[in-house]
Amino acid sequence: MQIHADFSRRVVVHADAVPWTPSPMPGVDRRMLDRIGGEVARATSVVRYAPARAFSAHVHGGGEEFVVLEGVFQDEHGDYPAGTYVRNPPTSSHTPGSAPGCTILVKLWQFHPDDRTHVRMDMAGALGRPLDGVACALLHRDPREEVTFHRLAPGAALTSSGAGGTELLVLAGALTEGGETLGVQGWMRLPEGRPLAAAAGPEGADVWMKTGHLAHAAAPPG
């Protein structure tokens, strides 16, 4: 399966308009944003857990990165409320689920195979002092990528150089780029070398963003 697999192209997906697709686990559905591979794939998806649903225990062969968008994600390591950012590197394992139900953005098989860095962070709690209407939190940085969270005042600008590509998801409010407005769960991927020049809407915006990673796009699992 290939969904938005050409990383040289600008892609915008209004995820809240994409139909839910059932996963192999009843009560766990997903909206596929990009994907290369079958059931085990290099993938970016919005995943929804119905209350009291869980996946079986598994090892992250290619790593797992996620942002909790709604509800509370849970595993044997703890509870992860909305606004939590998590990186589970290759060789880590858990039994994911949610008693109350939740929705997450999840990225699979996109780590360097030698990465062993775990991250768990309250994104809003890590925000710094606003500058020009933008407060920023650094969630993760390594030689391959930088992951950040931004809280933009109404009309504030969000930019990046385009080095290594840019990917973002709107978590609250709205963001306009290239004449197109992304609302909540609006997802954008800009290819390597294309700068980002976006602005928050009249209510401001909360934005999760990753840069640099498309220059080191991991191969999908064999």
> What span, in angstroms and rounded, lies between the C-alpha atoms of 158 and 151?
10
Please identify which residue in the block is written with the tokens 């990753």.
Answer: 210
- The answer to pTM > 0.75 is yes
Alpha-helix runs per DSSP H in the chain: none
DSSP assignment, residue 53?
A: E
Task: Specify the CATH number of the domain 17-120.
Answer: 2.60.120.10
Residue-range domain boundaries for the chain: 17-120, 126-216
Q: Which CATH number fits the domain 126-216, given the four candidates 2.40.37.10, 3.30.390.10, 2.60.120.10, 2.60.40.1930?
A: 2.60.120.10
- As given in the structure block, the two tokens for residue 144 are 């391959």
212 phi and psi angles, rounded to 5 deg: 90, -20
Helix or strand (DSSP H, E) at 207: strand 196-211
Longest dimension (CA), the chain: 46
The answer to whether 130 touches 124, Cβ cutoff 8 Å, is no
Contacts of 186 (CB under 8 A, 6+ apart): 12, 13, 14, 15, 169, 170, 174, 175
What string of DSSP letters covers 135-175?
EEEEEEEETTEEEEEEEE-TT-EEEE--TT-EEEEEEEEEE
Angle (CA) 146-148-151 rounded to 5° is 160
Going from the first residue of the chain to its last (222 residues), give the mean pLDDT of each consecutive group of 10, the final group possibly shorter. 94 94 93 92 95 87 95 94 97 94 96 94 98 98 96 98 97 97 98 97 98 82 70
Whether 126-216 and 17-120 are alike in CATH topology: the answer is yes
